[in-house]
Amino acid sequence: MQLRRTRRSGIRTRGAQGALAALAVVVAGIVATLAPAGRAAANTEASSRLTIFREPSTGNAGITVIHPQVDASAALGSTFNINAGYEVDIVSGATPRIFGPSSGVDAVSGATKFSDVRQEVKGGFDFIRATSGLSASYSYGWESDYKSSAISAASRSDLVDHNFTLGVGYTHNFDTVCDANNAAALGQPLNLQPLASSAHCFQSGMTDVTTHRLTIDTFEPSLTWTATPRFVVQGGTTIQILDGFQSNPYRAVLVGSQHRTPQEHMPNFRQRYAVFGRGAYALPDARASLTGGIRLYRDSWAVMAETAELNYNQYVQQNFLFTLRGRYHQQTGASFYRTSRDYQTLGPAGQYWTGDRELSPMSNFLGSAKLAYVRRPGQERSAWFSELEFSGKFETLFYHLDSADAPNYDRKVAYIGQTSFALRF
């Protein structure tokens, strides 16, 4: 019942929040456009990056994601930049189709192998002036069962001799999700059947599948303060509203003692809020800096989280930059989340059920080390670029779940390797 009240309340305020976000971006854009012109910082750059994510499992093949991406931006005059990018997620592995107990007489069967490819193209522009900036972009992502379009706009205005920067960002997503045609369920969540395959998705004339809409509005204002010649701090907030189908269409959940396995069922509406503070502190004697921040989060599904991050950046010799990163995140579970054992013995908490690790009480720690080679030829006569950077990074992500009957309990660690190359002119 609490969820239903939250949802109705959210619908009443949704229009006002969207209008407020749009108004803020428009006002900030006008401020940026009317601000005095001056020397700006348009630049030309090309960069590529390859990320490999590997999450092994003690029970199956785990998950592997290969993520190449390329981006380019070009200066058109001193105040205008255009940019474009392309990225791919090549996902493969195995995951259980049914969230249920992994042991005992009611243990669910093993994982099902899968593979998918997601691609995304994007393009945009930046209009940069001495004390302000305005940017806009569009991206389109597609995979066999999901399509996403997003438009973004952001602005910044420098105030008080560049000592403060006011930033506003807004993004609107128009997403489409493929799902099994559950018309026969007659609106009864326990009768919903999961999607068996994406083979017929987004094809006309197919009666076994259907599509759902998901819209996402994200509004993020921030204020940055240059506190001292060696310290910058930023505070801000994030408001995100999601409206539409948010379940994993393939996933089923074992619910109740009668062995029913309906499709995962989540509320269609979600409001998410976060406040954050970040800072960067220079250590000139050591040719180093400390950066980091904290974030507090809660949403209308009763997920509450705290995240803290600290980075140490150190120049080594003339051309190397070494970075150490530590990040800790902990969260509570959604109000309708239960362990697989509790879903079976106690039944669902209301009309919703999920087998998503993101919605379970959990914590994780990310440790990272990165080494970058940075070359800046400066005033050398032969220089045809301003900066060249080649970097390699390795990260380990440790998960901590509070129950052996939590989703993906068999995956306790993930490894991320990343390499990049960038050339700036």
Partner 1 sequence: MPSPFTFKRALLLALAFGLFTTGCATATAGASWTVKPHQRELLADKIMNLDGDPQERAADQHMLANREGAIGGSGTSGGGCGCN
Cα–Cα dist 294/396, whole Å:
20
From 42, 280, 383, 388, residue interacting with partner 1 (rule: CB under 8 A): 280
For residue 261, give the 3-state DSSP assignment: coil
From 91, 98, 130, 190, residue interacting with partner 1 (rule: CB under 8 A): 91
Tell me: does residue 64 bind partner 1 (CB under 8 A). no
Tell me: does residue 240 bind partner 1 (CB under 8 A). yes
Q: Do 350 and 334 meet the contact criterion of CB atoms below 8 Å apart?
A: no
From 329, 349, 388, 394, residue interacting with partner 1 (rule: CB under 8 A): 329
Structural Rg of the chain based on CA atoms: 24
Cα–Cα dist 75/42, whole Å:
5
Q: Do 312 and 321 meet the contact criterion of CB atoms below 8 Å apart?
A: no
From 7, 54, 298, 412, residue interacting with partner 1 (rule: CB under 8 A): 298
Tell me: does residue 305 bind partner 1 (CB under 8 A). yes
Nearer to partner 1, 254 or 303 (CB): 303
Residues 189-208 that bind partner 1 (CB under 8 A): none
Tell me: does residue 295 bind partner 1 (CB under 8 A). yes
- DSSP letter at 350 equals S
Tell me: does residue 397 bind partner 1 (CB under 8 A). yes
Tell me: does residue 3 bind partner 1 (CB under 8 A). no
Tell me: does residue 54 bind partner 1 (CB under 8 A). no
- Piece of 3-11, 27-35, 104-112, 328-336 that binds partner 1 (CB under 8 A): 328-336
Tell me: does residue 421 bind partner 1 (CB under 8 A). no
Please work out the total of residues on this chain that contact partner 1, with binding judged by CB under 8 A: 108
Nearer to partner 1, 181 or 332 (CB): 332
Tell me: does residue 294 bind partner 1 (CB under 8 A). yes
Cα–Cα dist 78/133, whole Å:
12
- Piece of 9-17, 181-189, 279-287, 341-349 that binds partner 1 (CB under 8 A): 279-287
From 125, 231, 365, 385, residue interacting with partner 1 (rule: CB under 8 A): 231
* Structure-token pair, residue 328: 């800790």
Tell me: does residue 25 bind partner 1 (CB under 8 A). no
Instruction: Map tokens 């205005």 to a residue.
Output: 157
Non-local CB neighbours of 400 within 8 Å, separated by 6+ positions = 362, 363, 364, 365, 412
Give me the count of residues in the chain: 425
- Piece of 14-22, 101-109, 126-134, 169-177 that binds partner 1 (CB under 8 A): 169-177
Non-local CB neighbours of 350 within 8 Å, separated by 6+ positions = 1, 3, 335, 336
Nearer to partner 1, 106 or 116 (CB): 116
Tell me: does residue 404 bind partner 1 (CB under 8 A). no
Q: Do 343 and 253 meet the contact criterion of CB atoms below 8 Å apart?
A: yes
From 35, 43, 44, 49, residue interacting with partner 1 (rule: CB under 8 A): 49
- DSSP letter at 342 equals H
Non-local CB neighbours of 231 within 8 Å, separated by 6+ positions = 279, 280, 281, 282
